[in-house]
């Protein structure tokens, strides 16, 4: 499955901030790392600031810093802010409804998975990653294929 670009950028940014909650990181630094424009990332960070999980720091050495609780903040908290997670409207035909039920099962499993993974768990999983699996480059900021329905992409 794929998440939309803004969702992934939000998660990447939060991992950067939460890895060292005392550090202020400039939006431009994260934008450069993930190959997106600072302007684009600023919108994502503004949404995270509205959610209260990052805080903007003004002045020299300013930027953003982590303001959440990494052991409580789950992937679902972030996904729900950036993706359409509401159930679809009632389908008109039996075939469409049968398919919608299957897609609904997938959505429920995805939601349960996202809800069970905290930022702290993600950070630990990064530390556990075997050397050989370390990506040479940061994740590609490819355009996500959004399904427009639920959590699937």
Partner 1 sequence: MPTSSGPASPRARRGTSARASTKASARSPNAIEPAVVVRPVRNEDIEAVIGIDTLVTGQEKRAYWRSVFRRYGTGLESASQFLVADHGGEVLGFVIGEVRDWEFGSPPCGWVFVINVTPKVRQTGVGAQLLEAVCAGFRREGVRTVRTILARENTLILSFFRSQGMTTGPFIPLEMSLES
- The residues of the shown chain that bind partner 1, judged by CB under 8 A, are 71, 74, 108-109, 112-113, 115-118, 120-121, 124-125, 128
Residue 69 is encoded by which pair of tokens?
């609780």
Least spacing, CB of residue 129 vs partner 1, in Å = 12
* Residue whose structure tokens are 């480059």: 137
Nearer to partner 1, 29 or 105 (CB): 105
Separation between Cα atoms, residue 149 and residue 56, nearest integer Å: 32
Q: Which stretches within the chain are classed as H helix?
A: 5-19, 27-34, 38-50, 75-82, 94-116, 119-128
Least spacing, CB of residue 120 vs partner 1, in Å = 7
Nearer to partner 1, 24 or 81 (CB): 81
Least spacing, CB of residue 134 vs partner 1, in Å = 18
13, 12, 113, 119: which is closest to 63 by C-alpha? 13
Nearer to partner 1, 50 or 72 (CB): 72
């Amino acid at each position: 499955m794929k998440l939309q670009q803004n969702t992934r950028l939000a998660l990447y940014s939060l991992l950067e901030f939460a890895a060292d909650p005392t550090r202020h990181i400039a939006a431009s630094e994260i934008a450069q790392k993930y190959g997106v424009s600072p302007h684009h990332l600023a919108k994502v960070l503004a949404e995270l600031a509205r959610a209260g999980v990052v805080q903007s720091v003004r002045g020299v050495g300013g930027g953003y810093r982590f303001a959440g609780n990494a052991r409580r903040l789950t992937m679902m908290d972030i996904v729900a802010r950036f993706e359409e997670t509401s159930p679809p409207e009632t389908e008109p035909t039996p075939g469409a409804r049968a398919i919608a039920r299957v897609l609904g099962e997938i959505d429920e499993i995805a939601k349960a998975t996202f809800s069970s993974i905290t930022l702290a768990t993600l950070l630990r999983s990064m530390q556990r990653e075997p050397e050989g699996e370390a990506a040479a480059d940061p994740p590609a900021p490819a355009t996500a294929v959004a399904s427009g329905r639920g959590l699937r992409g």
